[in-house]
Structures are given as C-alpha cells and as structure tokens.
A and B are shown apart, each in its own frame.
Chain A
Amino acid sequence: DAKTTQPPSMDCAEGRAANLPCNHSTISGNEYVYWYRQIHSQGPQYIIHGLKNNETNEMASLIITEDRKSSTLILPHATLRDTAVYYCIVRVPLRSNTGNQFYFGTGTSLTVIP
C-alpha cells in the first residue's frame, strides 16, 4: 500500500518557516501527493497537492524529492492560526478492489509557539 509516514508532532516558532516532512516510499508514478490540515475538530482543509514538480500557492509550498519517495510541506511564515494536524495523503486501493481512497494516516500535530 502506498501509505505515508509522518512525525507525530512538531513545534515551530511564530514567524518562522514550518517544514513538515512526509515519507511515501511506495507511491506509484502517477499518484499525486496531497496535503490537508485539520484545525481543532473542524473538517479537514485542502492545502496543496503535487505530482513531481515543486508547487506553491498562497498557503504553502510543496517540495517533492526527485525519486518521489518523500515530500515536505513548507509554511513560510507560521502563525498561531497554523496550529493544526497536517495530513500527507496519497491514494491507496480499497481492500475490496472497487476503487481508491485517500489514506489519511494520523498526521503531524504542528504547534506554533508565540
């Protein structure tokens, strides 16, 4: 299964860049890497996704290694409101082989410290 591995928790000082790593060593060549975050107990919120090139949007940057076995989400200037659980996600086949699902895993709990 193309699952992900993330550190369970990280701290980051306010105003600094937060770099969240993710390993996805069994990802298939045509599968995207997605990042979502969940603030408190709200529904997960989309951040960014990519295939093999680095991506940037208004929220974050995504750096994917050349072999695509790992990636890093970068929040360039972390604020207190960025405190959340961050999920690195890939698709995995359903056990019933009827389709695919997003594998969320347990994510990284990021705490931004004042």
Chain B
Amino acid sequence: NAGVTQTPKFQVLKTGQSMTLQCAQDMNHEYMSWYRQDPGMGLRLIHYSVGAGITDQGEVPNGYNVSRSTTEDFPLRLLSAAPSQTSVYFCASRETASETQYFGPGTRLLVL
C-alpha cells in the first residue's frame, strides 16, 4: 500500500490564483481530512469527509472547498489564493471504526 499520497509537494501561487491540492489513499478508509499547519499553531482541521459524497467543515474552512466523489480521493481547492493561506497542508485518513489517522507527506504552499 502507498498509504496517503499528496501532490504537489511544493507550490508557489500568486494572490488570486486558484489551485487544487490532491490527496489519495489506497487503504479503503472512509474518513479523510485536511489540516493546515502554521508555525506555533499546531495542526488545524480545514474540512473532513466521512465517506464518498459527504463533506463537512472543520475549524478553519474559509477560503477552501472540498469534494469527495470517490472513497480514494479528497481534493482541496483554493478558489482565490491569499497570502494568509501560505502554510503546510496535510491530508489524513482513517477507518471509521478507528481513530488512528494516517497522514500524507504534506504540501508546502507559498502564496505571494
């Protein structure tokens, strides 16, 4: 199993540009989530999904959209990037019956 994969590893955007951060898992996990990590602030939940077709907001959802058309994929979309969205983004997944989350390697995003 590849586990949780994320692409790209690093991205530079200009303010106002849009992009999609990709996340995929091959463990057939129902639950997937997106976190952002900023210096001195730990990880904060952006959006999560409990299964295909079901998504919900986390702690810091503004400026981000998600969709879950398949069990495997959970992309995170930035419609109009802002410098405040400069961060490291982590995707995670877990089985519904377990709270042990598996994290991807992260995507570093710089918005100029």
Contact = CB atoms under 8 A, between A and B. Distances in A.
A91 B58 CA distance: 13
Given A95-B59, A101-B48, A106 B40 contact: yes
Contacts of B45: 94, 101-102
Contacts of A42: 105-106
A43 B42 contact: no
B103 interface: yes
Interface of A: 32, 34, 36, 41-46, 49, 87, 91, 94-96, 98-99, 101-102, 104-107
Interface of B: 4, 33, 35, 40-45, 48, 50, 56-59, 88, 90, 92, 99-106, 108
B58 A101 contact: yes
Contacts of B59: 94-95, 101
A44 B99 contact: no
Given A101-B45, A105-B42, A106-B41, A44 B103 contact: yes
A98 B56 contact: yes
